[in-house]
Amino acid sequence: MYQIKQLTLLLLLLCSAFVAAAQQKVTGRVTDASGNGIPGVTVRIQQSTHGAITDANGRFSVEASNGSVLIFSFTGYKTQQLTVSGNTINVTMQEDYANLDEVVITGLATSVKRSNLANAVATISAKELYGVAPAQTFDAALSGKIPGALITANSGAPGGGISVKMRGVTSVFGNSQPLYVVDGIFISNVSIPAGLNIITAAASAGNPQNQDNPSSRVADINPDDIENIEILKGASAAAIYGAKAAAGVIIITTKKGSSSGKTTVRFRQDVGVNVARKLLGMRHFTEETALDYGGAAAKAQFIAARDAGKLYDYEKELYGEKGLLLNTGVSVSGGDERTGVYFSANRKAEDGIIKNTGYLNNALRLNVDHKISDRITAGLRMTYINSSADRGLTNNDNNSVTYGVSLASTPEFIELHPDAFGNYPINPGAANFLETRDKIRNNETVNRVISGGEIKATLHNNNMTNTKLIVRGGIDYFNLKTEAIFPRSLQFMKGGLNGASIQGNTNNLNTNVAAILVNSLEANSKLNFTTSLGATLETGNLDNLIATATNLLPQQTNVDQASASQLQQFRQKYRDNGIFIQEEVLIMDAITAAAGVRFDRSTNNGDYRKYFVLPKAALSWNLAKMPFWNVRSINSFKVRAAYGQAGNVAPYGAKFLALTASNIGGQPGSLVDTQLGNTNIEQEKQTELEAGLDISFFNGRLSLEASYYNKKIFDLLLRRAVAPSTGFAQQWVNGGDLRNRGIEIGINATPVDKKVIRWNIAVNFWKNTSEVTRLTIPAFPLGAFGNTLGNFYIQQGKSATQIIGTLGTGKGIGVLGNAEPDFQMSFYNDVTVLKNLSLRFMIHWKKGGDNINLTQLLSDLSKTSYDYDAMDYGNVKNGVYRVNALVNNDASVRVQDASYVRIREIGLYYNIPIPKNRYISAVNVGASANNWFTFTKYKSYDPESSNFGSNTMSTSTTRGSTGVSTGVEVTPYPASKRAELHLAVTF
């Protein structure tokens, strides 16, 4: 405390030094190559905080002395520097095809020009994120857009649920999902289960992991508010974020108010339709196959149904709804030189492809930036979100109640439709899913406030050096209400639970504060130093309460309207803090060297007082900026390497051996948990080395970015399976090392750039391979339902995502596949004709990567598979063949190639030319299709699926997601595709 006061005093003294010089008024106009004025260009006087912004015609006016340097910068154009001599300066900006001058945030408060960057930092612009074919939620909009990431939709249910794995599996049992930072606020992306296991018993037999598959909370964010996204993929780039950055950091920047003095109002309306991406069809029976299906009774039933014309396509009835999509947004952006305000309101209402499912999101945002004085700026970010998702009842279950499991058990000739009195017939094989669909409710409602602020103060400033203090803080608070209602009249409620109302209430508050001092020193024109020093603190506090009432009164849902109830509560708290220091040196604007170290600790570690030391270093050299460079066609040639370390804190509660509640006879009891705590548990430590080559040809018309990385995770947090006769099933240990190696290649080109037509293309290729390099505990299976159905298997010397299974009776166990793709590619194209008509599309190709297809298994077993009677395996029916495989303990038929080529997004937009008027400045119309075309041989609804979710929270009584179980499919909510029409009017 004493030292900090001293420091403050010193800084105060430093600040009193002011500079003064003879000022004059300098005016001018900034234009593009064709002479049109560019509004919004930042004009800054070098080594000062003074400046201006160009107006609607590209004009500016600024007080500057002769000899001072004006810096003109604007996104998409190369930054230009001009020395003031006289009162007028006109500038023609050059387009920055390769985004070399784009500024990329590399530290908590520092940024680097892309041409000097030492890492491959992927950026997603607003246009790429949400301007082609808008996805339902923010997380879904990331699909295919991050080179180096495997992004998988866990479920097609409204409200999303997306797994993002950057550069392979980062952790098996620890957090494997990236940190999301919105305008400096660390937001929560937890998935909180709704307590459905009492209905589905999904976690009661083959796999104890929770299978409620809730949505991820990052889905709440309104994607239309996002200006751009930067992705730090691994420790080499993200080390400064410390123990939260192991799985990468997704830095989201929302839109700011413009400072041009003009207020822009934008109205947006989207209307569309949502349909199933693929329906498989039903098995069509004949008298013969009906006899085989269920004997004479079934045959008679089939004949009666056929003759009455009552063979039903239940799959289409269940999953074939056309959901209406409506999205309305208004945004206001305005301000002046001192204050910028951005306000938006958005309402999205979407119906699902299953009746009574859908998504609603209402979001408000207010971003205010204000320059308090020449030295102090303040920014405020505030958003309120109300979202509601009706998700239906899908995925695995052991009570034959979910839509998919019931559908798989139902042949086309069973009558399930209600009679004239509304009575639903009993489905003999499982629940009557039409009744279930019509009567239940499984809703997640979120009310969320994300708010934060930042103050930047220039403490001291002269023509060589300046020191800034940045203080930033934020909160993310949400209340999640889950409500699952199963009325007592349901077929599967009668005589058993007699109705259930499961009400979950979660309050979560995350806070983060950071204070950073940044000193820039320009020793001479060829040598710049940037020093940062800072401290951060993040806290989290979650309180989850689930009340389950059974034997419910008819029509009632309140938990007291029932004769029996169960309560569960789970709380978690953490406090992480870190101190870091970082030095960046820029030599001749060509060589960048950076080094830093972060000291990090967390209350989730065994010893909460112990600091972990996480260093980083980076070097890049842009040869094209050197005096000797004389290859004119290559305007940037950069070699780069970066190294960094990050941690991954132990999951909450890993330290303890808990006694869980277990009561009987009305008495309270404590029962030892099956998870043995470990008081010595430590963070996982990750080191990542990344090296790359970035080349830009022909003035940036063609650029190449190639990276290689080697990411090693040490002291993997593992739940070691202990001999169960200890009474424990698992113990937390730091038990192994994991390595991910891969390459990422990106090519960006503008092959045509004419006034008539302009074509921009970006092609990305990425590939990752993982290996468990050390395992101090025995190899262990996880992530699915046992070896006879295919399972993941963590084994030394093998890929972390290998899938093993039984090879046939007596043949033991072998490798059947791997969830990791061989490679992925994406192709983004943007063709603009006559500046006004624009076609954009993105194709995503995932080659390889296997799924465990258990949807097929369940329909095979119930003899209802759509391809049951086909003969793909020789002289035997598919269904018979695959069931025989199970009988013979051959798991290989369930492990299936989940490759696909998908036109993720395609959109056609047109700026309607309108005569100049006082009210409307632009009208844009468009049509788009999202995930409309998929080419795959995978034999189920969609290659993207995960029964276990990706970041489902563990509680005292349930186990959450693991880092590897992506791709296990058990009768999911089928994925959907979207087609929309768009209208945007700017006032």
Partner 1 sequence: MKQYKIAIILLLSGTLLTSLNACQKGEIPNLNTPIAGDIVKSASREQLMNLAVGMESGMRLTLNTYYDAFGLLGREIYRFSASEPRYTGELMRGQLDNNTFYTTNPWTSRYRIVRQANILIDAATNSAAITDPQKKGYLGFARTVIAYELLLNLNMTYTNGIRTDVKDPDHLGPFKGYPESLTDIANLLDQAKTDLTGSEVIFPLSPGFAGFNTPAGLLKFNRALAARVAVYRQQWASALAALNESFFDLNGSFSLGIFHVYSANSGDQLNLLFLPQNNPGENRLAHPSYAADIAAGDDRIQKATLRTTAVTIDGLTSNRDVWVYRSNVDPVPIIRNEELILIYAEAKIQLTQLPDAIVALNRIRTSHGLAPYAGAVTQPALTTEMLTQRRYSLFTEGHRWVDMRRYNRLNQLPNDRTGDNVPDKFPIPLTESN
Q: According to CB under 8 A, which residues from 202 to 231 bind partner 1? A: 205-206
Exactly one of 90, 663, 680, 836 binds partner 1 (CB under 8 A); that residue is 663
Q: With CB under 8 A as the contact rule, which of the stretches 386-394, 467-475, 610-618, 684-692 interacts with partner 1?
A: 467-475
Q: Which is nearer to partner 1, 138 or 293 (CB)?
A: 293
Q: With CB under 8 A as the contact rule, which of the stretches 250-258, 304-312, 488-496, 972-980 interacts with partner 1?
A: 488-496
Does residue 455 touch partner 1 according to CB under 8 A?
Answer: yes
Does residue 418 touch partner 1 according to CB under 8 A?
Answer: no
Q: Which is nearer to partner 1, 466 or 572 (CB)?
A: 572
The answer to whether 856 and 879 are in contact (CB under 8 A) is no
Size of the site for partner 1 (CB under 8 A): 120
Q: Which is nearer to partner 1, 265 or 722 (CB)?
A: 722
Does residue 668 touch partner 1 according to CB under 8 A?
Answer: yes
Does residue 659 touch partner 1 according to CB under 8 A?
Answer: yes
The answer to whether 161 and 359 are in contact (CB under 8 A) is no
| 670 to 197, 421, 675: CA distances (angstroms) | 22, 49, 14
Q: Which is nearer to partner 1, 559 or 702 (CB)?
A: 559
Q: Which is nearer to partner 1, 86 or 666 (CB)?
A: 666
Exactly one of 82, 619, 721, 743 binds partner 1 (CB under 8 A); that residue is 721
Q: With CB under 8 A as the contact rule, which of the stretches 635-643, 715-723, 767-775, 892-900 interacts with partner 1?
A: 715-723
Q: With CB under 8 A as the contact rule, which of the stretches 54-62, 178-186, 776-784, 825-833 interacts with partner 1?
A: 776-784
Does residue 430 touch partner 1 according to CB under 8 A?
Answer: yes
Does residue 676 touch partner 1 according to CB under 8 A?
Answer: yes
Site for partner 1 in 336-395 (CB under 8 A): 372-376
Exactly one of 550, 851, 896, 946 binds partner 1 (CB under 8 A); that residue is 550
| 603 to 243, 660, 854, 955: CA distances (angstroms) | 12, 22, 40, 17
Adjacent-strand bridge partners of 480? 446, 506
Closest separation between CB of residue 201 and partner 1, Å?
A: 8
Q: What is the rounded CA–CA span in Å between residue 979 and residue 65?
A: 56
Exactly one of 429, 447, 553, 920 binds partner 1 (CB under 8 A); that residue is 429
DSSP state of 427: P
Site for partner 1 in 23-42 (CB under 8 A): none
Dihedral pair phi/psi, residue 855, rounded to 5° = -60, -45
What is the distance of C-alpha 514 from the center of its chain?
A: 24
DSSP run (H or E) holding 49: none
Q: What is the rounded CA–CA span in Å between residue 985 and residue 987?
A: 6
Angle, helix 878-887 to helix 854-861, in steps of 10 degrees: 100
The answer to whether 934 and 277 are in contact (CB under 8 A) is yes
Q: Which is nearer to partner 1, 641 or 661 (CB)?
A: 661
Residue 757 CB neighbour total at 10 angstroms: 13
Exactly one of 491, 699, 764, 965 binds partner 1 (CB under 8 A); that residue is 491
Exactly one of 831, 886, 923, 925 binds partner 1 (CB under 8 A); that residue is 886
Q: Which is nearer to partner 1, 314 or 637 (CB)?
A: 314
Q: What is the rounded CA–CA span in Å between residue 425 and residue 417?
A: 7
Q: Which is nearer to partner 1, 281 or 428 (CB)?
A: 428
What is the distance of C-alpha 163 from the center of its chain?
A: 6
Closest separation between CB of residue 200 and partner 1, Å?
A: 9
How many CA atoms, within 13 angstroms, populate the side-chain half-sphere of residue 281? 9
Exactly one of 583, 786, 839, 979 binds partner 1 (CB under 8 A); that residue is 786
Site for partner 1 in 856-875 (CB under 8 A): 857-858, 861-862
Q: What is the rounded CA–CA span in Å between residue 536 and residue 539?
A: 10
Closest separation between CB of residue 471 and partner 1, Å?
A: 4
Nearest to 449 by CA among 480, 476, 481, 474: 476
Longest dimension (CA), the chain: 103
Site for partner 1 in 135-194 (CB under 8 A): none
Site for partner 1 in 91-120 (CB under 8 A): none
Exactly one of 671, 757, 870, 876 binds partner 1 (CB under 8 A); that residue is 671
| 103 to 112, 123, 842: CA distances (angstroms) | 6, 11, 25
Q: What is the rounded CA–CA span in Å between residue 176 and residue 178?
A: 7
> DSSP alpha helices (H): ranges in 374-504?
403-408, 433-439
Q: With CB under 8 A as the contact rule, which of the stretches 251-259, 260-268, 649-657, 736-744 interacts with partner 1?
A: 649-657
Q: Which is nearer to partner 1, 211 or 215 (CB)?
A: 211
Residue count (the chain): 987
Closest separation between CB of residue 436 and partner 1, Å?
A: 11
Site for partner 1 in 554-593 (CB under 8 A): 563-567, 569-575, 577
Closest separation between CB of residue 664 and partner 1, Å?
A: 4
> How would you class 3 by CB atoms within 10 Å of its CB: exposed for 0-12, middle for 13-18, buried for 19 or more?
exposed
> How would you class 778 by CB atoms within 10 Å of its CB: exposed for 0-12, middle for 13-18, buried for 19 or more?
exposed
Does residue 15 touch partner 1 according to CB under 8 A?
Answer: yes
Closest separation between CB of residue 869 and partner 1, Å?
A: 18
Site for partner 1 in 722-751 (CB under 8 A): 722-729
Site for partner 1 in 520-549 (CB under 8 A): 535-537, 539
The answer to whether 574 and 602 are in contact (CB under 8 A) is yes
The answer to whether 219 and 180 are in contact (CB under 8 A) is no
How many CA atoms, within 13 angstroms, populate the side-chain half-sphere of residue 388? 13
> DSSP alpha helices (H): ranges in 409-555?
433-439
Does residue 657 touch partner 1 according to CB under 8 A?
Answer: yes
Exactly one of 67, 281, 496, 808 binds partner 1 (CB under 8 A); that residue is 496
Closest separation between CB of residue 781 and partner 1, Å?
A: 7
Residue 286 CB neighbour total at 10 angstroms: 12
Does residue 451 touch partner 1 according to CB under 8 A?
Answer: no
Q: Which two tokens stand for residue 246?
A: 């192991």
Closest separation between CB of residue 810 and partner 1, Å?
A: 9
Adjacent-strand bridge partners of 971? none
What is the distance of C-alpha 778 from the center of its chain?
A: 33
Q: Which is nearer to partner 1, 603 or 710 (CB)?
A: 603
Q: Which is nearer to partner 1, 675 or 699 (CB)?
A: 675
The answer to whether 764 and 825 are in contact (CB under 8 A) is yes
Does residue 964 touch partner 1 according to CB under 8 A?
Answer: no
DSSP state of 877: -
The answer to whether 683 and 602 are in contact (CB under 8 A) is yes
Q: With CB under 8 A as the contact rule, which of the stretches 242-250, 251-259, 465-473, 896-904 interacts with partner 1?
A: 465-473
Q: What is the rounded CA–CA span in Å between residue 819 and residue 738?
A: 16
Q: Which is nearer to partner 1, 334 or 404 (CB)?
A: 404
Closest separation between CB of residue 654 and partner 1, Å?
A: 11
Does residue 672 touch partner 1 according to CB under 8 A?
Answer: yes
Site for partner 1 in 889-928 (CB under 8 A): 889
Closest separation between CB of residue 942 and partner 1, Å?
A: 20
Q: Which is nearer to partner 1, 568 or 986 (CB)?
A: 568
Exactly one of 325, 469, 518, 903 binds partner 1 (CB under 8 A); that residue is 469
Q: Which is nearer to partner 1, 133 or 490 (CB)?
A: 490
Residue 845 CB neighbour total at 10 angstroms: 17
How many CA atoms, within 13 angstroms, populate the side-chain half-sphere of residue 839? 5
Exactly one of 399, 467, 531, 703 binds partner 1 (CB under 8 A); that residue is 399
961: helix, strand or coil: coil
Q: Which two tokens stand for residue 234?
A: 């691994």
